[in-house]
Amino acid sequence: MSAKQQQIKRIGVLTSGGDAPGMNAGIRAVVRASVYYKMTPLGIRHGYDGFINNEIHKMDAGSVKHIIHQGGTILKSARSMEFKTDKGMQKAWKNVQKHNLDAMVVIGGDGTFKGAMEFGKKFDFPIVGIPGTIDNDIYGTDFTVGFDTAVNTVVEAVDKIRDTATSHNRLFFVEVMGRDAGFIAMYSGIGAGAEEILIPEKDRGIEQLFESLERTSKRRKSSRLVVVAEGDKNGNVYDLEEQVKERFGDRYETKVTILGHVQRGGRPSCTDRVLASRLGVAAVEALKDGKRGVMVGVRNRKVEFTDLEQATKRNPEMDKELMRVANIISI
């Protein structure tokens, strides 16, 4: 191991998959920690595509100046098909040799980690992952980089929609991102004071929605907001609107908003910047200490490591207590 440790002189860093606010803070921390520990950081642009195509350049403390507050990723991102092929991986491996890379940090989600795991095994190459995705669907960390910003973005948007909903006594369906996970919907739904929250993790969402509409249509509540996870099993948000119309006729004036890609962007929240900074430093220190094939996360306020294999296979569990709380306070 100690032999290995001495080899880590040059560290590559890339962002891959869907971009998330805070990725830049992560890049910055990886770069600065590398410099701090007398290593040379190299930026790889456009994710695994750039890894394959040799879009690799040296970085230093100055190249990450004034980026901590910027959304997106200065290294750009991509979903690479080619990296799933042997040929693609071989090309990337040539670039590793060309640039004398000793290790790599990858920032992204599920797909990113799968690629990293495979590449790492194939070439016995040390890689550490940082969970960067707004969806919070990665096992091994309390929260992923980007989640906190995304739920704040959603809550801000829904606050605005509430203004107009209240002015008109309307029933609004707001679809939010999250892929197969309901975390964004659950947190932002509670935060926005939504009357109902529909998530893939919950079975009888639509029945519950009907019952609650049944109850409240009698009470004449001034407006109703339903936050719907994109992965919800009752079909998409327009179907949902249809079903409500069928059942309740014109008792409700319904409206639909699909928040879309605004959820991916924006200045990262303080929480995301701090989290990404911690994880960036931890990733470099992990490589320095001979760790590989792991993801760094923060659980219970402490840095923890999870095998990339586990990180990609297991799903984080939706907090039952939150569902209960959501139910109680939307009374």
- Please give the annotated binding residues, written as ranges: 18, 28-32, 79-80, 109-112, 133-135, 162, 170, 177-179, 193-195, 219, 221-223, 230, 255, 261-264
Which amino acid, one-letter code, is at 206?
Answer: I
State the Cα–Cα distance between residues 303 and 291, nearest whole angstrom.
Answer: 14
Residues contacting 321, CB < 8 A, separation 6+: none
Q: Does 270 bind a second copy (CB under 8 A)?
A: yes
Q: Does 32 bind a second copy (CB under 8 A)?
A: yes
Smallest distance, Å, CB 141 to a second copy?
12
Select the residue interacting with a second copy from 11, 103, 151, 296 (CB under 8 A).
151
Closest CA to 22 of 166, 130, 121: 130
State the Cα–Cα distance between residues 317 and 50, nearest whole angstrom.
Answer: 34
Instruction: Looking at residues 189 to 218 of the shown chain, list those that interact with a second copy (rule: CB under 8 A).
Output: 190-193
Q: Does 264 bind a second copy (CB under 8 A)?
A: yes
Select the residue interacting with a second copy from 265, 288, 304, 309 (CB under 8 A).
265
Closest CA to 29 of 17, 41, 19: 41
Q: Which two tokens stand for residue 212?
A: 């609650």
Nearer to a second copy, 120 or 306 (CB): 306
Q: Active-site residue numbers?
A: 135
Q: Does 329 bind a second copy (CB under 8 A)?
A: yes
Q: Does 71 bind a second copy (CB under 8 A)?
A: yes
Q: Across the chain, how many H-helices and E-strands are there?
A: 12, 11
Smallest distance, Å, CB 200 to a second copy?
19
Q: Does 293 bind a second copy (CB under 8 A)?
A: no
Taking each helix axis from N to C end, the angle separating 110-123 and 86-98, rounded to the nearest 10 degrees, works out to: 70
